[in-house]
Amino acid sequence: MTDLLYAVDGAVATITLNRPDRLNAISVPMLDALSKALVEADGDRSVRVIVLTGAGKGFCSGLDLKDLAAGRGIGSDSVAMPARFDLRNAPPIVLHQVDKPTLCALNGAAAGYGMDLALGCDIRIASDQAKLAGGFAKRGVLPESGGTWLLPRLVGWAKACEIAFTGRTIPAAECLELGLVNRVVPHDLFAKEVRALADEIANNAPLAVQAIKRMMRLGLEDSFESNVHQVYLQLLPLFRTRDFEEGVAAFLERRPPRFEGR
């Protein structure tokens, strides 16, 4: 579908929300397409990093409220409610579960659902023109796509409450101060900086990077002792990989490693 673009360049898969005329507001078909694109990238052995971004001047303005007002969007009577809730294939769940590193290229404003998507990525690079707007309370709803889980873990309870209860817009510089983004870069250097970081991650051993992410994700709910044991069980098969042999050889030979993901 043209509302969501998927492209692979080298070891980097880029998923682009592509409704620039609507600031990339999420439609019903885009939800399924986004989940499928994430699953495809996660299963592609050639892909080592997933970049999520938006077309045009905005990242994502949230769920399409114009569609909702017209009676055909998410939350309207025209979209049938399921007999039971099954969100296993919903984008926030899929985004949380993929093992490939996810990098949000926050090219502009991210509001509502778009803010949750951005926060759901592992790393966020923001243009100096970007901003986050969690205006759920101003619309009579709540952060339904991971925000209530993510925000307290990213900024602490008190700051999360302030952001969520006020629903105010946070400019890029303040996002950096709060720890909501990893870095802020001038807009004209934005694409270059995103690609440089993606390539830096992709140059490392992909199986090790994915194992690191998996163990950190599980560690959010594990005890320290449980996590140490699980990490050790992840370590044993990595010792038997070609990438481990290559990493050691490259270190001893004082050269850059050439990892294969095997």
pLDDT tens, residue by residue, 58-87: 999 988 866 665 555 555 555 555 555 667
* CA 89 – CA 32 distance, rounded (Å): 8
E strands along 68-194, which residues?
A: 102-106, 109-111, 123-127, 131-133, 169-171, 183-185
Residue 87 confidence (pLDDT)? 76
CB 133 within 8 A of CB 109: yes
Residue 79 confidence (pLDDT)? 54
Q: Give the three-state DSSP class for 210.
A: helix
In this structure, whether the domain defined by 4-202 belongs to CATH 1.10.3720.10 is answered with no
CB 127 within 8 A of CB 173: no
Q: Where in the chain is the domain with CATH 3.90.226.10?
A: 4-202
φ, ψ for residue 105 (rounded to 5)? -95, 90
CB 145 within 8 A of CB 117: yes
Spatial CB neighbours of 81, under 8 Å, sequence gap ≥ 6: none
Residue 74 confidence (pLDDT)? 59
* CA 119 – CA 155 distance, rounded (Å): 11
Q: Where in the chain is the domain with CATH 1.10.12?
A: 206-253
Comparing C-alpha atoms, which of 96, 32, 20, 29 is closest to residue 61? 20
Pick the CATH number of 206-253 from 3.40.1400, 1.10.3470, 3.90.320, 1.10.12: 1.10.12
Q: Which residues of 220-231 are buried (b: 16+ CB within 10 A; e: fewer)?
A: eeeeeeebeeeb
> What's 140's DSSP letter?
T
pTM of this prediction? 0.90
Residues with pLDDT less than 50, the chain: none
* CA 189 – CA 127 distance, rounded (Å): 8
pLDDT tens, residue by residue, 10-41: 999 999 999 999 999 999 899 999 999 999 99
As beta bridge partners, residue 49 has: 12
